[in-house]
Amino acid sequence: MVPSNEYGDRVKRAKQLMEVEKHDLLVIYSDAWRISNVCYFTGFRSYDGIVPIYISLLLLPLSEEPILFVYFTLVPTAHRESQVANIRPLEEFSVCLRNLARKHQLKRVGIIGETIFPLSIHEIAKSALEGITLESSDIVARLKAVKSENEINLMRKAAKLTDEGLKAVAAAMGEGISEYELVAEANYAMSSKGPGGPCIDNMVQSGPNSEVLLKRPTERRIQRGDMVLIDLAARCRMYSSDVARGIVFSGTKEQKKIMEVAVLAFEEGLRSVRSGVRACDLYTSVQGVIKEAGYGDYFKESAGHGIGMDPEEEIPFITPENEMTVEAGMTFALKSAIMVPGQGGIRIEDVVVAREKEAELLTAFDHRLLLD
């Protein structure tokens, strides 16, 4: 578990960055797609998929303690679970925002989660803060990116759950079983082995379905000659893991070569992970192996993304354009992928921690999965 004092330290560090960037207030938004923005400071997570219950907001004034806003039916639950003492129903958000603006003569307000803000909440904020500069801020994304050892320990537990999911899929794999059934096996394994469970629409993509980046499972049944792409994510006590593997089922030499190249590309990327490496250079280390093997046109995604409370977080994204430097303690899902029309697709993805001189791999399931 993350101790209470760590939540307080997060608030303190956020305020230090606010002073540097001259923000008088942060308006922090979370929903089912980005639980971490608010949960990072409070330990409280709203409920997925129910409008408007999934919404939570946090006001973080520079000179006061934070204020958490949740749907009114969740206020008692939030009092039990949250590390923040001041909890209000969402209906009071506008009034509270106006009062803070008057009390502290606010001049600059940072918006966290602006790209996923509902228009209605954005309009409330604009009206309550009329005449005050509102600007998108990445303060929280930067704080979330570097994990404490307490956070990394929870991510290790989440990683064990996804390994269990992969193990269940590999054990059940065979001719005639459907993608739906394989995902059900994975979800059950991950939910039954620890306090958590799936945190995305987990995927098994077989045959032609594996040739696209993302696709929900279908009723298609596994056939010999298929490449099968498996992508699973689980959450344990608020922290996530995200893994992907491919299985070649009685495949051709070409399909086995695609798997081997994808594994070698991932391994080259893993060797390059360390504090101080640029995200774009990590991408190049993965992409270079794939390109040299003749599959450069079939690697059409990033080589990784941040991960923590959410299965995909903002920092770091491992893309050819991103020149940001990876820091020790950053966690991300490193991946390679090759999708060839007529052959199938594979993704190798594991969660890593950047350390000073190398990567720590949190997930451990075998990368080379060949079934006859």
- Same domain? For 139 and 153 the reply is no
pLDDT more than 90, % of the chain: 91
Instruction: Using DSSP bridges, classify how beta strands 196-198 and 67-70 pair: parallel, antiparallel or unpaired.
Output: unpaired
CB distance 31 to 114 below 8 Å: no
In this prediction the pTM is 0.94
- Same domain? For 139 and 163 the reply is no
> Which position has the token pair 């799936």?
198
Residues in the chain: 372
Query: Which of 112, 145, 178 finishes a domain?
Result: 145
Q: Where residue 367 sits, what CATH number does that domain have? A: 3.90.230.10
- Same domain? For 86 and 57 the reply is yes
- Same domain? For 157 and 74 the reply is no
- Same domain? For 127 and 155 the reply is no
Give the sign of the dihedral formed by CA 49, CA 50, CA 52, CA 58: negative
The Cα 40–Cα 60 span in angstroms is 12
State how many domains the chain has: 2
- Same domain? For 105 and 171 the reply is no
3 state SS for 27-65 = EEEECCCCCHHHHHHHCCCCCCCCCCCCCEEEEEECCCC
- The amino acid present at 155, given as its one-letter code, is M
- Summarize pLDDT for 107-136 with one digit per residue, the tens: 999 999 988 888 999 999 999 999 999 999
- Summarize pLDDT for 242-295 with one digit per residue, the tens: 999 999 999 999 999 999 999 999 999 999 999 999 999 999 999 999 999 999
How far from each other are the two terminal CA atoms of the chain, in whole angstroms?
43
- Summarize pLDDT for 324-346 with one digit per residue, the tens: 999 999 999 999 999 999 999 99
Q: How many CA atoms lie within 13 A of 151 on its CB side?
A: 25
> Which position has the token pair 């081997």?
260
CA distances for 34 relative to 25, 74, 283, angstroms:
20, 18, 25
CB distance 289 to 326 below 8 Å: no
- The amino acid present at 196, given as its one-letter code, is G
- Same domain? For 123 and 177 the reply is no
User: Phi, psi at residue 218, to the nearest 5°?
Assistant: -125, -175
Evaluate if residue 162 carries a pLDDT over 90: yes
CB distance 107 to 82 below 8 Å: no
Sequence-distant (6+) residues with CB within 8 A of 253 are none
For residue 73, the tally of other CB atoms under 10 A from its CB is 11
**Cis-peptide, bond into residue 316, ω within 30° of zero:** yes
Q: Where residue 102 sits, what CATH number does that domain have? A: 3.40.350.10
- Same domain? For 246 and 209 the reply is yes
Evaluate if residue 188 carries a pLDDT over 90: yes
User: Residue 262 gets which letter from DSSP?
Assistant: H
- Summarize pLDDT for 57-96 with one digit per residue, the tens: 999 999 999 999 999 999 999 999 999 999 999 999 999 9
Residue 98 burial by CB count (10 A; 0-12/13-18/19+): exposed, middle or buried?
middle
Q: Which two tokens stand for residue 308?
A: 């923590």
For residue 266, the model assigns a pLDDT of 98
Strand, helix or coil at 236? strand
- Same domain? For 228 and 362 the reply is yes
- Same domain? For 87 and 188 the reply is no
Expressed as residue numbers, the domain containing 211 is 149-371
Query: Which of 106, 121, 145 finishes a domain?
Result: 145
The Cα 332–Cα 166 span in angstroms is 19
> Which position has the token pair 């689980």?
234
For residue 193, the model assigns a pLDDT of 86
Q: Kindly write down the DSSP assignment for every residue of 278-313, as one continuous string.
A: BHHHHHHHHHHHHHHTT-GGG--S-SEEE-SSSSSB
- Same domain? For 201 and 350 the reply is yes
CB distance 210 to 171 below 8 Å: no
Evaluate if residue 47 carries a pLDDT over 90: no
pLDDT class of 51 with cuts at 50, 70, 90: confident
Calculate ∠ Cα 357-363-366, nearest 5°.
Answer: 110
Query: Which of 93, 112, 145 finishes a domain?
Result: 145
